[in-house]
Amino acid sequence: MVTERDSDARVPDWWRGLGLPGLIDLHVHFLPERMERRVWHHFHHGGPLMGEGWPIAYEWPVERRVERLRELGVRSFPALAYAHRPGMAADLNAWTFGFARRTPGCLPSATFYPEPGVAKYVRAALDDGARIFKVHLQVGGFDPRVPELDEVWGPLAEAGVPVVVHASSIPVPGGYVGEEPISEVLRRHPRLRVVIAHMGMPEYEPFFELAARYERVALDTTMAFTDFSERGMPFPERLRPALLDLGLAGKVVLGSDFPTIPYPYAHQLDALARLDLGDDWLRAVCWSNGMAMI
């Protein structure tokens, strides 16, 4: 259980010390209650898509989780529900839009799945003001290159709305993960604003290359550099100069995976600070890059 000794209480002093008005976290999850219970069950017990799983630090009622984000000073965050089978994305989008309407600071978010009608409900989400999308290629088990999604990627590229894409093989390989599937999508739609979740760990290098190659491709920090991730998927020291340059160029944004993390929220910020890339980099990653994107 998270307690004050775990240091969340000092987070506001941390961002104030950088001269920031708060934090923008573009990788936060809120789900319909029944779905959330199932997801948490998988994290507790592990399985084919979870490996051994991990404990959830913020397994709290939804109101308490929202309040904790406010206490931390997270000014903007999405719900980032994601579809893992046909027939659920449109309902999830209705739920996330409703959650955003009743939750100050929550960005309207949406998801999609390759299925009949996908272009129609993605267009409806854009027309209704979706500010960010999420797809999970590992859990969803679908190929982002399938023809029916060309009718989705194109309008998303035109709209410039960020799409957080879980494209790497964390926590275990599966689905259409790795650099090549999403890279081919970007070759077709080079203006697509993709945010690679988890900095692409453990396949850091090819995803860093994508971010350098495409103007609108960025990386989020979710779980990267933390003690938990460094034990099994250490960040390559040779990429530190690229990490600095990408952050200052607007291509690294703060992500946390709150609430489904095995450590206090503050630890993600500590992990960023101990990279020693400078206050300008921290200000860009924790605020200005996210603000420019949304």
Name the token pair of 40. Answer: 């948490």
Render pLDDT for 70-94 as a digit per residue (tens, 0 to 9). Answer: 999 999 999 999 999 999 999 999 9
**3-state DSSP call for residue 193?**
coil
* DSSP code at position 160: T
Render pLDDT for 95-140 as a digit per residue (tens, 0 to 9). Answer: 999 999 999 999 999 999 999 999 999 999 999 999 999 999 988 8
* DSSP code at position 288: I
Q: What is the pLDDT of residue 6?
A: 64
Q: What is the pLDDT of residue 7?
A: 87
Instruction: Tell me the sheet residues that pair with 132.
Output: 109
Side chain identity at 149, as an amino acid letter?
L
Render pLDDT for 169-227 as a digit per residue (tens, 0 to 9). Answer: 877 676 788 999 999 999 999 999 999 999 999 999 999 999 999 999 999 999 999 99
- pLDDT grade, residue 51 (50/70/90)? low
pTM of the shown model: 0.94
* DSSP code at position 286: I
- pLDDT grade, residue 40 (50/70/90)? confident
Q: What is the pLDDT of residue 3?
A: 45
Name the token pair of 38. Answer: 């199932």
